């Protein structure tokens, strides 16, 4: 007679055999005893289980998308007064011609990538350039063309002007279009040529108008600016400018920029983040809004002399 221990061992081995995964030949034998109408569903479930075990459930990592332009931390950023920045930039530009070297202002803005774009033109108290060559798109031989010639336009017309532009003969740096000539301008397909140069007339830049003479008088002595990837850049003065002249230009420009930001605040929130002054060949200096130099030995008069 078997002992109690032997009975327990036999029962445990029987339970383990029952839970062991059946071998292929055992599965076929078991399938032969299953009714035929159940076999398709059985094979399908085995297939689905097999595919599920081989599927890679790892999801690809999503790339971070920033709705606003990145703004760097400025806790340790050194800022300079206007006179200090001019002092260092003039040192970088020693030996350069003062009438062909410009100060440039870069205004960095906290804004969304899909927000409104700031763009306009401004008349500075001290213009950085006096070379204004204006062309006018208007009917050939019309009174508008005659008046534009009298006001100093270097080129007028439609077909003749379009042909010159396509040939690369662009002897102007401003282009105005009369409102009646807009359809002809669109048909000419000059966008790829004039667009990259910033010369394509549009209603936003106020270069399409019915009164061409008024637009020409308004354009003379003005400069255009446009926001690009959250930064507005503009030539703000010449190296020969005194601190007072440069300061006046910066003030007028910043006042207009803030007013334009307020006008689009209902659709796009914009906040000035940093104002950087640089020159043609010099680095950029972040301005702190002050004017006077920090070094008492350096006076405004010394920064006003010709280099």
pLDDT for 7: 64
The CB density around residue 163, as the number of other CB atoms within 10 Å, is 12
Residues 6+ apart with CB under 8 A from 278: 89, 103, 104, 106, 284, 285
Q: Is residue 284 part of a domain?
A: yes
> 91 or 69, which is more confident?
91
Given a cut of 50, whether residue 97 has pLDDT beyond it is: yes
- Supply the pLDDT for residue 247: 96
Which runs of consecutive H residues, i.e. helices, occur in the chain? 4-19, 24-32, 39-54, 82-92, 143-150, 159-166, 182-188, 191-194, 212-219, 243-263
Per the CB < 8 A criterion, the answer to whether 274 and 74 are in contact is: yes
For the sheet with 174-178, list strands across it: 155-157, 134-137, 174-178, 208-209
> Has residue 38 been placed in a domain?
no
What mean pLDDT is predicted for residues 264-285? 93
The total number of structural domains in the chain stands at: 2
Cα torsion 282, 284, 289, 293: sign: negative
- Using CA atoms, how far residue 158 sits from 35, 133, 180, 248, in Å, is 88, 17, 11, 40
Choose the final residue of a domain: 196, 220, 244.
220
**CA angle centred on 93, ends 89 and 97, rounded to 5°:** 130
In a domain, 10, yes or no: no
User: What's the pLDDT at 255?
Assistant: 96
**Residue that terminates a domain, selected from 220, 241, 270:** 220
Lookup: tokens for 267: 């659709």
Q: How many other CB atoms are found less than 10 A from the CB of residue 237? A: 25
**Residues written for the chain:** 307
Residue 58 lies in a domain: no
Report which of residues 104 and 198 the model is more confident about.
104
10: Cβ contacts below 8 Å, ≥ 6 apart = 2
Q: Is the domain of 238 the same as that of 109?
A: yes
**Residue 28, in any domain of the structure:** no
What is the model's pLDDT at position 74?
85
Whether residue 237 sits in one domain with residue 125: yes
Task: Quick: pLDDT tens for 211-224.
Answer: 998 888 888 778 88
Q: Which residues form the domain of 208?
A: 131-220
293 and 248, same structural domain? yes
**244 and 115 fall within a common domain:** yes
**Could you tell me which residues come within 8 angstroms of residue 272 by beta carbon, excluding any fewer than 6 positions away?**
107, 108, 109, 110, 257, 258, 261
| pLDDT average, residue stretch 269-283 | 94
Indicate whether 290 and 161 sit together in one domain.
no
Task: Say which residues have a Cβ less than 8 Å from residue 179's Cβ, sequence separation at least 6.
Answer: 208, 209, 210
Residues facing 231 on adjacent strands? 108, 228
CATH of the domain at 168: 3.40.50.790
Q: Give 239-261 pLDDT, tens digit per residue.
A: 989 999 999 999 999 999 999 99
pLDDT tens digits, one per residue of 135-167? 999 998 899 999 999 888 999 999 999 999 999
Calculate the average pLDDT of the chain.
Answer: 83
Q: What is the DSSP letter of 233?
A: E
Domain limit, last residue, from 187, 204, 220: 220
> What pLDDT, in 10s, does the model give residues 27-77?
555 555 656 555 555 445 445 545 555 556 667 776 666 688 888 888 889
pLDDT in tens, 105-146: 999 999 998 888 998 889 899 988 767 789 999 998 899 999
Within this chain, do residues 245 and 307 fall inside the same structural domain, yes or no?
yes
Place of tokens 């383990």: 16
CATH number for position 283: 3.30.190.20
pLDDT at 46: 47
Task: For residues 213 and 229, state if they share a domain.
Answer: no
Q: What is the pLDDT of residue 200?
A: 92
Structure tokens at 296: 């008492």
């Amino acid at each position: 007679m078997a002992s109690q221990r032997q009975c327990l061992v036999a029962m445990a081995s029987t339970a383990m055999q029952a839970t062991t995964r059946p071998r292929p030949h055992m599965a076929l034998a078991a399938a032969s005893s299953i009714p035929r109408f159940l076999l398709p569903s059985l094979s399908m479930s085995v297939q689905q289980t097999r595919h599920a075990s081989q599927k890679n459930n790892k999801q690809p990592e999503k790339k971070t998308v920033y709705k606003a332009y990145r703004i760097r931390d400025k806790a340790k950023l050194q800022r300079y007064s206007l006179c200090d920045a001019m002092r260092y930039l003039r040192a970088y530009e020693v030996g350069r011609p003062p009438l062909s070297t410009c100060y440039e202002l870069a205004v960095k803005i906290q804004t969304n990538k899909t927000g409104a774009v700031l763009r306009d033109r401004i008349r500075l108290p001290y213009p950085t350039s006096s070379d204004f060559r204006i062309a006018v798109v208007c009917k050939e031989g019309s009174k508008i063309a005659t008046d534009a010639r009298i006001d100093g336009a270097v080129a007028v017309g439609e077909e003749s002007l379009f042909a010159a532009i396509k040939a690369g003969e662009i002897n102007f740096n401003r282009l105005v279009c009369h409102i009646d000539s807009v359809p002809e301008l669109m048909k000419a397909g000059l966008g790829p040529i004039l667009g990259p140069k910033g010369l394509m007339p549009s209603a936003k830049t106020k270069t399409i108008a019915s009164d061409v003479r008024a637009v020409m008088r308004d354009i003379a002595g003005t400069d255009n600016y446009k926001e690009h990837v959250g930064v507005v850049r503009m030539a703000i003065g010449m190296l020969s400018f005194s601190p007072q002249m440069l300061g006046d230009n910066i003030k007028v420009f910043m006042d207009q920029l803030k007013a334009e930001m307020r006008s689009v605040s209902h659709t796009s929130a914009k906040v000035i983040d940093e104002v950087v002054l640089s020159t043609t060949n010099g680095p950029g200096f972040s301005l702190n809004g002050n004017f006077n130099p920090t070094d008492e030995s350096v006076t405004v008069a010394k920064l006003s002399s010709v280099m």
